Amino acid sequence: MLIVGADALTPRAMTTPRNALQQRLLNDPTTPVPQVQLLSNGHYHVMLTAAGSGYSRCGELALTRWRDDAVRDHLGSFCYVRDVDSGALWSATHQPMPSRAKRYLADFSDGRACFTRHDNYIEVRTEVAVAASADVEVRRVRVTNHPGVLRTIALTSYAEVVLAPPATDAAHPAFNKLFVETEIDRSRQAILCRHRADRPGAAVPTMFHLLTSPQPLAAPPDYETDRLGFIGRGRSSADPQGPRSGLTGSAGPVLDPIVAIDCAVVLEPGQSAWLDWVTGIAPTPTACLALMDRFRRSEQ
């Protein structure tokens, strides 16, 4: 289990395995029996396959949608990568755009999961951690520009929001989606998702999805919380419209809630940049804002 605190989210803490003896290196993300990694602090849980799919759960609640589907294996929290100049689009892990990378590696060590792939002379490294003292996960994406030319690289996160027990979502997904409301907080570079109470006085669990970056971005981030607006008609997560045409910024009682934050970085030849997508949950909206601000401060 990778266990980090809010004050330990540094490049060194996110890239040093705590126990190399338990390391598994996987070059093939399409093994007949999926290879998985479980990360947990005892209450917040993340499961990842070698292809990058998986789930995020807190107690009995599923934050993101996932199905046990050995054929498609296409659900989870993902990051899309786009070369702004050429228009080339791929994913930071094998899923959800299952194309063969020039080089691909899933590195499962004690307490962390790391994915590295090389495409179009760009190296993308994604490292996943779970906080020790909070219901929070961090996905750090580091992009390195290898060719001798200036590149602008856009990165777009994506996950389908549930905020209900997995069995409830599997039995009545369309009904469950009606209870989720989304809000964009541009001042915090974040998206908030709330599950409306089904009775007076019931708890309102609130999830956040936050972008932080130590280096300047090419432009302010864009946001999307409606799946149709992100995927587009007649498309799927393997060929989404949003990362190509831009995100619409829709929010509120959307029909099919997601979280997606898009940003871009400009890289000189040989330069690297990293960004963190932080996802967490709290029992109330007020507690969620406090938790989000705690992790924002740790990045500054």
Distance CA 241, CA 278 (A): 24
Q: Residue 217's Cα: distance from chain center in Å? A: 18
Tokens (6 digits) for 268: 């000189």
Residues with pLDDT less than 50, the chain: 1-21
pLDDT computed for residue 298 by the predictor: 62
Percentage of residues of the chain with pLDDT beyond 70:
91
Residues facing 115 on adjacent strands: 106, 126
SS3 content of the chain, % helix, strand, coil (to 5): 15, 45, 40
**For the chain, how many structural domains are there in total?**
1
Fill in the DSSP letter of residue 8.
G
- Segment 40-98, tens digit of pLDDT: 999 999 999 999 999 999 999 999 999 987 777 889 999 999 999 999 999 999 999 99
CATH number at residue 7: 2.70.98.40
pLDDT computed for residue 1 by the predictor: 34
Look at the chain and count its residues. Answer: 300
pLDDT computed for residue 300 by the predictor: 55
Domain holding 267, by residue range, is 3-299
Residue 254: φ, ψ to 5°: -70, 160
Distance CA 279, CA 169 (A): 20
Tokens (6 digits) for 296: 């924002």
The answer to whether the beta carbons of residues 178 and 208 sit under 8 Å apart is no
pTM: 0.91
Whole-Å CA distances, 38 to 34, 90, 92, 284: 13, 25, 19, 27
